[in-house]
Structure 1
């Protein structure tokens, strides 16, 4: 398998008959190259039979505009894949997976565009902070313009986003994943809002890790000809780095398809 750029997306197509399609959106500032920053996670999903469409985006204050653009790019990729015969003839469920800001974008897609169908969404490390909390120095920027009453905020704001989800979000099946050492996670609040709409279809998992766990990168450690104590330390370190990421992979794959064998 190899990543291919298609209509502004990075696409990884499984060699086997696909089980479904995953639309992945990463976190702010690391979403410009998701096929690199989330490579291990996304390739693990593709190896289990899913077509992964990872849509890059550049963060701005207009999150509505970003959501609309990533959806447009995704739909363009779907057309190209269908033309190439990669999607096959049968029905393929489409799942959204988001990390950090990517979660908000999937929520906006599910709230702003009622004709968009998703079999389910997975929200990893959701956060919905105001601009002054999410962007360095923005509070000082606002203070400098208090006389003109200039206030910089994301569109929609955190409160507006919550209201949109309460009233319009239309994806029934949802998985929220929160890491124990993630200090900026707001998944609990989101789970309460989602359960107001689809109580029996919302699952929340709390697992070991932190906000950067989904970005776990490959750690190269080549053991010497004679395995020595330093090699043992290197192997232990590699296992520790991968442990939380592997658990994340397992939980996602089990939720997507409970019949799949474990990672």
Structure 2
């Protein structure tokens, strides 16, 4: 797969693309999406979607992050079209976010004038800083410092309720994800856009999207260890493939995967 770095974004351009995906990962693991989300991004490219994955550093100011990743995405898209690397013909743009990446896409769709054919929101997480940041809750730092995200979880929900403009949404919740808040988001979006919101519950956990395909190679003699390795690989691949299938089916119901 041919990866390019353009204005700090990691880009994959398939032949004869049918759409564009702006990919945003989760807090802390989004700094290198070409590594942490490589399998999922390349699978989207194999389905003929241009993927522009924007890394970001996690800070308390989520509005500033949303503005920055949007600006870098639009600058990169303009660059691709200006240089001829991507045709200027219309291609639908979809946001795909995981965990904090969901919140950023929701902020982009609420605060800025963007055109999106839809958003795919995987494992939405909107916890306050005390719970979301490692060690904050254990050290009880909220009593020492007045620390909270901007916007706060409550402000984020209010923004989505009143201002979110992307009508078509796929929400994905994994069955073993203990920090997921997709259900509450689904209720908000269904009230705002009745009939336009799809919720899918899939096997897996919060880190399923960052799993990679395990290429377990057996030796000349098949051993019990090889059997365990194949079993683990099948389990990981099953969850990843199910995620890919649901995303691809929602993006284009006529696609066979």
TM-score, normalising length from structure 1?
0.94
1:248 aligned onto 2:243: yes
| Equivalenced residues, count | 255
Which aligned pairs between 1:73-152 and structure 2 lie closer than 5 A? 73-113=72-112, 115-139=113-137, 140-144=140-144, 150-152=145-147
- Quote the residue 1:30 is aligned against: 29
Conserved in 1, the CA contact under 8 Å of 2:4 and 2:10?
Answer: yes
- Structure 1 equivalent of residue 38 of structure 2: 39
CA distance in 2, matches of 1:229, 1:254: 37
- What pairs up with 1:50-69 in 2 under 5 angstroms? 50-69=49-68
Q: Which moved more, 1:217-226 or 1:227-236?
A: 227-236
In structure 2, the residue matched to 1:238 is 233
1: CA distance, partners of 2:88 / 2:60: 40
Instruction: Give the deviation of 1:229 after TM superposition.
Output: 4.1
Q: Give structure 2 stretches of 5+ with no counterpart.
A: none
Secondary structure at 1:31 match in 2: helix
Q: Aligned-residue CA RMSD in angstroms?
A: 1.2
Which whole-Å CA distance do the structure 1 matches of 2:220 and 2:229 have between them?
14
CA distance in 2, matches of 1:86, 1:189: 40
Partners of 2:224 and 2:178 in 1: how far apart?
35
For residue 150 of structure 2, give the secondary structure of its aligned residue in structure 1: coil
**Stretches of 4+ aligned residues off by more than 3 angstroms:** 226-230
From the superposition, tell whether residues 137 and 236 of structure 1 become closer, same or farther in structure 2 (CA, over 3 Å). closer
Q: Report the CA distance shift for 1:89/1:80 in structure 2 as closer, same or farther (over 3 A).
A: closer
Question: What residue number does 1:214 align with?
Answer: 209
Residue 156 of structure 1 corresponds to 151
TM-score (norm. length: structure 2): 0.96
**Which ranges of structure 1 fall in alignment gaps of 5 or more residues?**
145-149
CA distances 1:166-187 after superposition (whole Å, capped 9, x unpaired):
1100000000000000000000
Cα distance change of structure 1 residues 151 and 98 upon mapping to structure 2, 3 Å threshold? same
